[in-house]
A and B are shown apart, each in its own frame.
Chain A
């Protein structure tokens, strides 16, 4: 499966989840389903929808800083799927990084004679980690959907 088709399948799965949550769930759970999709697409957007604007802003700031730093280190171009599939797929943890990675990686920026850089390894790492961390943030939407002052479960780490 190519990178683009994998991305389309992933985006389709997320949209199907959003549609399913709208049809199948009760009203309050629909909001969580929409937040789950939004959190995947834009880091922090899910928390914003659930009424956690500060958390949303901090998460967006951290993840976007990681991603932009990675792009800056790589000269605003990333490797292709063919050269580094694992790093490339790591961006799929967020819809917007996946879209940007798709746009910026075509045509292939590195390796080539016109694109010398010694920071390509940390650049790929930063970009990949930004995407993968958004997976954690996306799943964390279900925790954020709890009422703010709900008691924690017994035995949970303080």
Chain B
């Protein structure tokens, strides 16, 4: 059931990004937009890393 831990990933990342952006900006629209964009970028980077590791583990 370790994959169930993924349910906790996105709320945590969005909360982290939101706090970081709240500390930098005052405009709520900017905060929401940049939080979601940064969370998406981080997720993409992690997914790319996971794919690379999977390819290495599976075929190399």
Contact = CB atoms under 8 A, between A and B. Distances in A.
Contact of A121 (B5, B18, B22, B23): B5
Contacts of B16: 129, 133
A59 B12 contact: no
A136 B19 contact: yes
A143 B23 contact: yes
Interface in B7-26: 8, 12, 15-16, 18-20, 22-24, 26
A133 B19 CA distance: 7
Interface residues of A, number: 20
Contacts, number: 37
Interface in A68-127: 118, 121-122, 125-126
Interface string A120-158: 011001100100010011001001100010000000000
Max chain A Cβ within 10 angstroms of own Cβ: one of B15, B16, B22: B22
Contacts of A136: 19-20, 23
A137 B16 CA distance: 11
B1 interface: yes
A55 interface: yes
A122 B19 contact: no
Interface of B: 1, 5, 8, 12, 15-16, 18-20, 22-24, 26
